[in-house]
Amino acid sequence: MPYTESVIAEVLRCSSIVPVGLPHRALADTTIRGFNIPKDTIILTNAHHIHYKRDIWGDPDNFRPERFLSPDEKSFRKNDALIPFSIGKRQCLGESLARDTLFLFITNIFQKFSVSPGRMTKSIRNLNDIKLADSIQRTPEEYTVVFKDRL
């Protein structure tokens, strides 16, 4: 089960489904690390940038769920730089529901089916090979997947 959690975490990191999060507003004049942020400034979190920072992830363009496993690979290891649901007081209220749903959905699929790329799906060697439509939400180009019943 820790590996499944790691795969889900890596998918959330790689996909950065909502790359810049929702807008927030500074409630007061603030200074952070020498930068002045005036009251009422609109603030966006660039989750995509954080999810692909080399100094945090090492090789962010590679899909490696192992980065979320403990050294003995027996337990899931949380990384505070993974922020697909934002951070702080304003993070997504549905995060625990979303994570639980993803876990149940993924485990049920892989328990019941063998999953492989479809015939028309191109080979993906690393994450840069995936074409995405960027907007408020990132979506992949069309692809096919084959589900076969496990016997």
Per-residue pLDDT of 52-69, as tens digits, reads 999 999 999 999 999 999
What tokens does 26 get? 């500074």
Per-residue pLDDT of 65-77, as tens digits, reads 999 999 999 999 9
Residues across the chain:
151
Per-residue pLDDT of 83-110, as tens digits, reads 999 887 778 889 999 999 999 999 999 9
Residue 49 has pLDDT above 60, yes or no: yes
Give the pairing of strands 24-25 and 35-37.
Answer: unpaired
- What whole-number percentage of the chain has pLDDT above 90? 58
- Which residue shows structure tokens 């820790």? 2
Mean pLDDT, residues 42-51 taken together: 91
- Which residue shows structure tokens 């994570």? 99
What integer best gives the mean pLDDT of the chain? 87
The pTM score is: 0.81
Residue 131 has pLDDT above 90, yes or no: no
SS3 at position 66: helix
Where are the domains positioned within the chain?
2-113
